[in-house]
Structure 1
Amino acid sequence: MSTRRPQRVHIREVGPRDGFQNEPEQIATEDKVRLINALGRAGLHRIEVASFVRPDVIPQLSDGVEVLSSVDVPDDVALMVLIPNSKGLDNALKVRDKFHEAAIFVSASETHNKKNVNRTIDETMADLDGVAKRITSEGIRCAAVIATSFGCPYEGRVDLERVLSLAERFAEAGASEVGFGDTTGMANPGYVSEFFSAALERLPGVEVTAHFHNTRGQGLANALAALEAGCSSFESSFGELGGCPVPPGSTGNIATEDLVSMFHEMGVETGVSLPGVIDAAREAQTVLGRKLTSHSIVAGPVEWASARS
């Protein structure tokens, strides 16, 4: 066993935001709320639930305020919202009492950033420096997300130094957490190990979070590589919901229930009820009217046969 492997990890559930935003059919607000409540009761103490992007850009998330006002989760569950820019923060602060954490984001790839938010990286960072400072001044925990940290379908391998420099800039602006996103599933375990070893060394005092997609089937292998490098913070999506709207073919995040199952079988604590998350994912299948792609939805938890004399 790696001496750096954490024995307990934190998992943020991102399905209600990152997952739902990719669904083509509008999900009823009451269904979103019911699923979020189920995830909270399953022991997921961090849930990303809404985004303050323009409603015409992502109509699926246009009911974010209603969702935030209606969820009923345990008191120890931290609700996160995604803030794209200064205007988004203005709107979020109108319901300041409804959430606990705010995430800001940039792509490490210039091309992806332009396609995603129609800005250069420098333009995005100039705005987000101020946004991060405003978030922390409001007493809200600020997390930064760097998309395409491990590769970009338009530019290929993204330079590690560029990614870590962006992370340091976010930390200087007040972000207490930096998440590194494998936005289109281009990471591999070997590079992930190198990447997180470097990130943890460069960002002392900052929570370093791994966010993997399973686009090419390597999501759990990458999560294991990050764990072995010392990473103890992960993001995932129940039912393997999600993907990236830029470019096509970028399928979902690693499934929360598959990640929890792997960690529990390894003796790594998560504080999450695996049956509870599986139940929520199965309910999501009913809501969406289609089968989802996680393995644990089908197989369920590992059940060891009783020893026989």
Structure 2
Amino acid sequence: MKNKQYAIKLTECPRDAMQGIHNFVPTEVKAQYINLLLQVGFNTIDFGSFVSHKAIPQMRDTADVLARLHLDNTTSKLLAITANLHGAEDAVAFDEISYLGFPFSISETFQQRNTNSGIRESFNTVKKINKLCRSNNKELLVYLSMAFGNPYGDEWNTDMVTKWAGQMVDEGISIISLADTTGVSTPQKLKEIYPALCAAFPETEFGVHLHSVPATSLEKITAAYEAGCERFDSALKGFGGCPMATDDLTGNIATENLISFLQQQGIDLSLDMAKWDEAMSYSAKIFG
């Protein structure tokens, strides 16, 4: 068991939770929801994305949402997703954003599907965005998407995960999140891949962005924790998933389940649970 001062970093992902909703969520409702989450005490809030409005219409108001956020009384940092250099150029213009996130898939099929570019072209985009971030006081977080396998029949093995993690480290990427885009991770894969990457690249901060059906979420949380993970992405009530992956979305890990598990391990997360309860209640205005 880890001690109570163990530095777990939690990223709450309202962007991921909302992006696949068909009916447009009003900007003010998005902002009020995120403002509640900002008061809970999460390390990071994945609040929006600077991507094609045609591809993800729900996120077309990210800049307007940002203008409505109350950031004076929060310790949480803001993360925005971008899928290309143009979106990154838009995102770095905002001082309030600390992190840009780029989804880099080790599945060629999904990289084309998600960003309309192949793996090699996308790696060049990573280099350009990282340079842009450095010159604008931002940090680039790379998601290694399909890190645990893919449903497309594309080649996958643990050596590929290690190879691409190494490529990112060589480019100076210091935070890498292993993304289980379609929920195919297993406890065995987590316990094999996560510690191996930490051992190979000890100066790099690795996290997990797991998707799951409810029945298997706890075993995935447990496996990641036991593998030494200190950075977890999740979403309230497990809403969301990647609309570019499948028609039947495999949702995010539910934040309340993650919190409960970590508290049972004796970890003080220093969260304002009263504000969390408010956010849980308010979420019905978005998710029903």
TM range (shorter): over 0.9
Q: Residues 61, 203 of structure 1: CA spacing in aligned structure 2 closer, same or farther, 3 A cutoff?
A: same
- Equivalent position of 1:10 in the other structure: 9
**1:137-216 map, 5 Å:** 137-155=135-153, 158-215=156-213
**What is the Cα deviation at residue 212 of structure 1?**
0.8
Q: Residues 103-142 of structure 1: CA distance to partner in whole angstroms, max 9, x if unpaired?
A: 1121111111122222211111122112112212221122
- Alpha-carbon distance in 1 for matches of 2:151, 2:119: 17
- Equivalent position of 2:283 in the other structure: 284
- Alpha-carbon distance in 2 for matches of 1:237, 1:216: 13
**Could you tell which deviates more after superposition, 235-244 or 153-162?**
153-162
What is the SS of the residue equivalent to 2:266? coil
- Equivalent position of 1:34 in the other structure: 32
- Alpha-carbon distance in 1 for matches of 2:251, 2:280: 14
- Equivalent position of 2:80 in the other structure: 81
Is 2:92 the counterpart of 1:93? yes
- Equivalent position of 1:267 in the other structure: 266
What is the SS of the residue equivalent to 1:33? helix
Whether the 8 Å CA contact 1:4–1:230 is kept in 2: the answer is: no
- Equivalent position of 1:299 in the other structure: none
What is the SS of the residue equivalent to 2:232? strand
Whether the 8 Å CA contact 2:89–2:132 is kept in 1: the answer is: no
Q: Residues 158, 216 of structure 1: CA spacing in aligned structure 2 closer, same or farther, 3 A cutoff?
A: farther
**What is the Cα deviation at residue 205 of structure 1?**
1.3
- Alpha-carbon distance in 2 for matches of 1:123, 1:5: 43
Q: Residues 174, 5 of structure 1: CA spacing in aligned structure 2 closer, same or farther, 3 A cutoff?
A: farther
- Equivalent position of 1:52 in the other structure: 50
Q: TM-score, normalised on structure 1? A: 0.87
Whether the 8 Å CA contact 1:257–1:277 is kept in 2: the answer is: no
Q: Rg larger in 1 or in 2? A: 1
Q: Which ranges of structure 2 fall in alignment gaps of 5 or more residues?
A: none
Q: Residues 157, 9 of structure 1: CA spacing in aligned structure 2 closer, same or farther, 3 A cutoff?
A: farther
Q: Partner amino acid for 2:234?
A: S
Whether the 8 Å CA contact 1:5–1:230 is kept in 2: the answer is: no
Q: TM-score, normalised on structure 2? A: 0.93
Is 2:135 the counterpart of 1:134? no
Q: Residues 159-192 of structure 1: CA distance to partner in whole angstroms, max 9, x if unpaired?
A: 1111222122222223220000111111111111
- Equivalent position of 1:63 in the other structure: 61
**What is the Cα deviation at residue 56 of structure 1?**
1.6
Q: Give the paired residue count.
A: 286
**1:219-234 map, 5 Å:** 219-234=217-232
Q: Residues 152, 6 of structure 1: CA spacing in aligned structure 2 closer, same or farther, 3 A cutoff?
A: farther
**What is the Cα deviation at residue 198 of structure 1?**
0.7
- Equivalent position of 1:250 in the other structure: 249
What is the SS of the residue equivalent to 1:144? strand
- Alpha-carbon distance in 2 for matches of 1:63, 1:14: 16
**Could you tell which deviates more after superposition, 41-50 or 278-287?**
278-287
- Equivalent position of 1:301 in the other structure: none
**What is the Cα deviation at residue 4 of structure 1?**
11
Q: Partner amino acid for 2:167?
A: R
Q: Residues 238-277 of structure 1: CA distance to partner in whole angstroms, max 9, x if unpaired?
A: 1211112221213210011110011112212322234532
Whether the 8 Å CA contact 2:12–2:234 is kept in 1: the answer is: yes
What is the SS of the residue equivalent to 2:215? coil
**What is the Cα deviation at residue 236 of structure 1?**
0.5
What is the SS of the residue equivalent to 1:56? coil
**Could you tell which deviates more after superposition, 274-283 or 67-76?**
274-283
**What is the Cα deviation at residue 82 of structure 1?**
0.8
- Alpha-carbon distance in 2 for matches of 1:155, 1:277: 40
Q: Residues 107, 230 of structure 1: CA spacing in aligned structure 2 closer, same or farther, 3 A cutoff?
A: same
Q: Residues 5, 124 of structure 1: CA spacing in aligned structure 2 closer, same or farther, 3 A cutoff?
A: farther
Identical amino acids, percent of aligned pairs? 28
